Amino acid sequence: MASYISDGKKLLNVEYDVIPQINDFIDGMRVLSTNQKSPEEFGVFLLEPNQNVSCYVFDEVFIVGRVTGFDNIVEAIEAWKNDEV
């Protein structure tokens, strides 16, 4: 289990090939799931402190998209698959 911190634009102090895994933490939120669309782009689904779900979209270590406040992980994954994030 790893813990990562971002500056809102990228993960800090990590190598470019690092992909957060389930049960890691990003900005204090636990990773529930990950999904990769291409070798460079992947989505990470995080449990917020208020029990909602966030989706961060990464291109390597750079955060290229972020949507918060999904009621559950199913809604977050559907939005990711429908390119709404």
pLDDT, tens only, 47-60: 999 999 999 999 98
Predicted pLDDT at 20: 93
Task: Give yes or no for residue 27 having a pLDDT over 90.
Answer: yes
Q: What is the pLDDT of residues 61-80, one digit of tens each?
A: 899 999 999 999 999 999 98
Q: What is the pLDDT of residue 13?
A: 93
DSSP string, the chain: --EE-B-SSBBSS--TT----TT-EETTEEEEEEEESSSSEEEEEEE-TTS-EEEEEEETTEEEEEEEEESSHHHHHHHHHTT--
- pTM for the model: 0.91
> In the chain, what are the domain boundaries?
3-81
